[in-house]
Structure 1
Amino acid sequence: MKGVGPVKADEIAARVETFVREKVIPYESDMRRDHHGCPTEELVIELRARAKEAGVLTPHIMADGSHLSQRETLVVLHKSGLSPLGPLACNTAAPDEGNMYLLGKIGSPEIKKRFLDPLVAGARSAFFMTEPASSGGAGSDPKMMQTACRRDGNHWVINGTKAFITGAQGAKVGIIMAKAEEGACLFLVDLPNPAIEITHIPNTIDTSMPGGHAVVEIKDLRVPEDQMLGEPGDGFKYAQIRLSPARLSHCMRWLGACTRAQEIAVNYANNRKAFGKTLIDHEGVGFMLAENHIDLRQAWLMIDWCAGVLDEGRLGTVESSMAKVAVSEALMRIADKCVQVMGASGVSGETIVEQVFREVRAFRIYDGPTEVHKWSLAHKIRRDWKAAQENHGALNGHQNS
C-alpha cells in the first residue's frame, strides 16, 4: 500500500477539514442518539452520504485501492477528528479503519471484494477479540483466548463469549478471533448472523461509537474455511499487522479532537473576563493553555515518529506502545485543562469539550491500558539488559581467551 505523496495528502486533509468544520460540526447538536448516547444508524448513514457527496468518504484509501502512508494518514485523520462525529462521517473511525487496513494488507482478492469493498463504501464492521473478565477470557492479553473453533468438514464451528465489541450492533462485517489446536485464527463473517447474539450493551463513559460496546454470545457459528484469514494459527500474527496502525490512528483522531477542544478553550479564555482582565491574561489560565500547546506539538511529533517506523515496513509494536502511552496521557492532560479553563461551561454540553474529556479518558484504556503498555515496555527493557549483559560477557570471554 503506497502513499500518494505529502502534497496530495495535504490536499485531501484540507478537503476533510473544510467538510468537518462546515458540514459535520453543525450535527454535533443533533439529537439522533440511542439510549446509550451514541449516534444512531440513521445519523451515521446521513453523515456518510454527505461525506460521499463532498468526496471525502474513506479519504485515506484511494480509488485504486492503495492506502495512504502512515505519515499521510496522520495528516488526514487528524482533520477528521476535529469533531467526534468527523471520523464517523468520513469513514475513518475505529474499528472500521483498522479492519480496512488489515484486509487491504492480507485479504485475498475474493475476501477484498466480498468484505473490504463494502467497508470502503461505508458499511460498518466489528472486531471480535476481547472477552469477559468473569470467564477468564482475553482482555489486554489475547493469549487468554477462551473462544474456541474446531474444523467440521469444509467449515469451522465457533463458540464463545466476546465483550466490549465496538459497533457490533449495526455492523455488516465481523472479524472474529478464536482459538484452535493450531493456535489463534481470524474469521470473516457477514452480520447480522443468528448464531451471534448481542446479549448486553453497557453504558460507557464514551458516546462517540455507534452501536456502543456489546457483549456477544457466539453459539455454533459455522464459517466456511475460505473465510479464514490465512491458515490456522495465523491469528496472532495477522492481529499484529492491525495492532500498531490501529493504536496510532486512535492517537491521530483524538489529537484532532483535542486540537478542537484547545481552540474552544482559547476562544473562551480570550473572551471571558474576570477580576478586571481576560482569563488568558491570568497566569493560572494562560499557563494551562501554553502547556496544552506544548503537549499538542509533542503528541504530533510522537505520532509522526511512530508513523515513520511503520512506513519503513517494521511492525512498530514497541514504538506504537510508547506512542499510545505518551499521546493518550498528553491528550488527557489537554482535555482536563480545557475543562478547567472553561469552568462550568467546560463540564456542560454547551460545547464538545466535555465529550472530548470523556472520550479521551476512555482512550487511556482502549487499545491497551497505559499500565499494560508500560509493563510490556518494562519487560523489553529487562530483556534488552539481559541480552546486553550476555553479549558483554561473551565479548570479555573472547578477549580473555
Structure 2
Amino acid sequence: MDFTLPPEIDSLRLQVRDFVEREVIPLEADPESYNEFDNIRLALCDEMRAKARTAGLWAPQMPKSRGGLELPLVGWAAFYEEANRSIFGPVTLNCQAPDDGNMSVLNKVLPSDEMKDRWLQPIIDGEARSSFVMTEPHPGSGSDPGGMMLTRAEKRGDRYVVHGRKWFISGAAVASHFILVARTSDDPRRGLSAFLYHRDDPGWRIVRRIANMGPDEHGGVCELEFDGLEIPEDHRLLEEGDGLRITQIRLGPARLTHCMRWLGLAKRCMEIARDYVEEREAFGSRLIDHESIQMMLGEIAKDIQIGRLLVMNAAWTIDRGGLARKEVSMAKIHVADTLIKAADTAIQLCGAKGYSKDTVLEWIYRYARCAKLVDGASEVHKMVLSRAYRKEGNDFWRWGE
C-alpha cells in the first residue's frame, strides 16, 4: 500500500495549509473572534466561510455537482488534518462535526434529488446546520442503542408520532435539519428507524443546553424532549427497522473524520511547544537542548505518526470497499489518546503560558477530553477489537480485508 498523496490532493492540502495559516489562525488571538461558548462568532464564521468557498476549499466530502470537492476518504484525511491546525478551521471549510457526518449519510441514503435538494443542499451551502439525535439519558441508549433505546416512534396512518428524551445532542441549538433515531418495534435487530424532521415542526423542544468543560461547538450539546412530534412516512430514511444501519453508515466514517481533525490539533500543540522551547532558556541553555525535553517532543511526534498511519490505513480500506470496523476502532482509540497527550505535554513544556489563554493550548486541552467519549467510548472500541481478535485469531493481522 502506497500512501503517497496524488499530486492533485497534495496540491489541495497545501492550499488548505496556506489558507488556514493566513486567514484563520490569526483570528484565534483576538478575543473579539469568539462567542460566549469559546467558538468563532457566527457572523465572523459566515464571513470566513465565504472566503473559503471563493478559494475553492469547501465541503471536501460532497459531490462536485453539489458544490463540494468529491475527495476520496484518503483525500479527506489530508484535507481535514490541515484544516484543524486551527481551532476554527473545520467549521470555516465545512468539514466539522456533526454536519460532516450528517451530510455524508444523507448523500448516501436520500432516495431522490428532490429530497437532497430539500434536506442536504442547504447544509452543503452553509445555509443550514444539522444534528444527529440518538443518545438518551439513563436508562436509555448510549453505546448500545439497539438494546437500550427508549424514545419511540409509533406508526399512525401515514405518520410517525414520537415520544421520548434525548441528550448530549451536538449542534441542536442552531440546527435546522435533524436526523432522529427512535424505536419502532421491539425487534432486537430491526427495532430502530431513522427519520428527518425540521426545527419548526411542533411536538418537540430543547429542554436545556448542557454546560460542560467545553469549549462548545456551535449549538452546544442539548437535551431534547419529544411530546408528539409527527413525522411523515416519506421522511423516514431507508426502510422501517433500518435505524441501526443508518447509524453504522454514518458513524464509521464520522469516527475517522474526528481522528483526521484531531491529528491536526495534536500537530498544532507540537508546533506551539516546539516554538516555545526553541527560544526559552533555563539553566544556561535553551529548553530544546535538554534531553528530557527532546524525549517528550519525540514521543508525541512518534504517536502522531502512528495515528496518521492508522487513519490512512482505515481510509484506504474504506476507499477500496472495505468496512474497516477494527481499523477505525484502532485509529479512534490511539488518536484520542494522542490528542490528550499532545495537549498535556505542550502545556507542560510551555508552563504557565500554556495554561493561560495566551495560546490555544488550554482550549485544545479542554476540548480534547471528549475525544475518548464521542462516537463510542474508548472502552467500547477496545471491546470491538477484542471480539474481532477472538473471532479471527491470527488473521486479525492479515494484510487487507
Q: Determine if the TM-score, normalized by the shorter chain, exceeds 0.5.
A: yes
Residues 198-229 of structure 1: CA deviation (Å, up to 9, x unaligned) = 11112222315111111111121111111111
Q: Which amino acid aligns with 1:125?
A: S
Number of equivalenced pairs? 382
- Do residues 21 (structure 1) and 29 (structure 2) align? no
- Do residues 68 (structure 1) and 89 (structure 2) align? no
Is the Cα contact below 8 Å between 1:36 and 1:203 reproduced in 2?
no
**1:159, 1:321 → 2: CA distance?**
33
- Do residues 90 (structure 1) and 93 (structure 2) align? yes
**1:200, 1:33 → 2: CA distance?**
22
Is the Cα contact below 8 Å between 1:38 and 1:212 reproduced in 2?
no
Identify the residue that residue 9 of structure 2 maps to in structure 1: 9
Identify the residue that residue 129 of structure 1 maps to in structure 2: 134
Is the Cα contact below 8 Å between 1:241 and 1:315 reproduced in 2?
no
Which secondary structure state, in structure 2, belongs to the residue aligned with residue 313 of structure 1? Answer: coil
Which secondary structure state, in structure 1, belongs to the residue aligned with residue 64 of structure 2? Answer: coil
Q: Report the CA distance between 1:91 and its aligned residue.
A: 0.7
**2:115, 2:90 → 1: CA distance?**
24
Is the Cα contact below 8 Å between 1:149 and 1:179 reproduced in 2?
yes
Which secondary structure state, in structure 1, belongs to the residue aligned with residue 239 of structure 2? Answer: coil
- Do residues 319 (structure 1) and 323 (structure 2) align? no
- Do residues 227 (structure 1) and 235 (structure 2) align? yes
- Do residues 52 (structure 1) and 58 (structure 2) align? no
- Do residues 194 (structure 1) and 202 (structure 2) align? yes
Which secondary structure state, in structure 2, belongs to the residue aligned with residue 64 of structure 1? Answer: helix
**1:53, 1:376 → 2: CA distance?**
42
Is the Cα contact below 8 Å between 2:161 and 2:230 reproduced in 1?
yes
Structure 1 window deviating more from structure 2 (187-196 vs 123-132): it is 187-196
Which secondary structure state, in structure 2, belongs to the residue aligned with residue 215 of structure 1? Answer: strand
Q: Which amino acid aligns with 2:224?
A: V
Report the TM-score when normalising by structure 1. Answer: 0.90
Is the Cα contact below 8 Å between 1:161 and 1:215 reproduced in 2?
yes
The structure 2 residue matched to 1:332, chosen from 333, 340, 344, is 340
Is the Cα contact below 8 Å between 1:101 and 1:242 reproduced in 2?
yes
The structure 1 residue matched to 2:350, chosen from 342, 347, 361, is 342
Structure 1 window deviating more from structure 2 (367-376 vs 168-177): it is 367-376
Residues 387 and 351 of structure 1: is their aligned pair in 2 closer, same or farther, counting only changes over 3 Å? closer
Structure 1 window deviating more from structure 2 (31-40 vs 79-88): it is 31-40
Identify the residue that residue 120 of structure 1 maps to in structure 2: 124
Identify the residue that residue 257 of structure 2 maps to in structure 1: 249
Structure 1 residues 306-385: aligned runs within 5 Å = 306-384=314-392
Residues 196 and 54 of structure 1: is their aligned pair in 2 closer, same or farther, counting only changes over 3 Å? farther
Is the Cα contact below 8 Å between 1:84 and 1:208 reproduced in 2?
no
Q: Report the CA distance between 1:34 and its aligned residue.
A: 4.4
Across the aligned residues of Structure 1 and Structure 2, the Cα RMSD in angstroms comes to: 2.0
Is the Cα contact below 8 Å between 1:40 and 1:210 reproduced in 2?
no
Residues 146 and 43 of structure 1: is their aligned pair in 2 closer, same or farther, counting only changes over 3 Å? farther
Structure 1 residues 111-190: aligned runs within 5 Å = 111-122=115-126, 123-133=128-138, 136-143=139-146, 144-181=148-185, 183-190=191-198
Is the Cα contact below 8 Å between 1:147 and 1:161 reproduced in 2?
yes
Identify the residue that residue 287 of structure 2 maps to in structure 1: 279
**2:161, 2:322 → 1: CA distance?**
34
Identify the residue that residue 399 of structure 2 maps to in structure 1: none
Q: Percent identity?
A: 38
Structure 1 window deviating more from structure 2 (56-65 vs 306-315): it is 56-65
**1:154, 1:40 → 2: CA distance?**
41
Residues 370-391 of structure 1: CA deviation (Å, up to 9, x unaligned) = 1121123223333445999xxx
**1:236, 1:204 → 2: CA distance?**
28
Structure 1 window deviating more from structure 2 (282-291 vs 48-57): it is 48-57
Residues 268 and 307 of structure 1: is their aligned pair in 2 closer, same or farther, counting only changes over 3 Å? same
**1:213, 1:192 → 2: CA distance?**
19
Q: Report the CA distance between 1:189 and its aligned residue.
A: 1.5
Q: Which amino acid aligns with 1:305?
A: N
**1:41, 1:199 → 2: CA distance?**
23
Which secondary structure state, in structure 1, belongs to the residue aligned with residue 230 of structure 2? Answer: strand
Residues 243-263 of structure 1: CA deviation (Å, up to 9, x unaligned) = 110000000011111111111
Residues 349-401 of structure 1: CA deviation (Å, up to 9, x unaligned) = 1111111122221111111111121123223333445999xxxxxxxxxxxxx
**1:350, 1:238 → 2: CA distance?**
42
Q: Report the CA distance between 1:240 and its aligned residue.
A: 0.7
**2:33, 2:226 → 1: CA distance?**
30
Structure 1 window deviating more from structure 2 (341-350 vs 194-203): it is 194-203
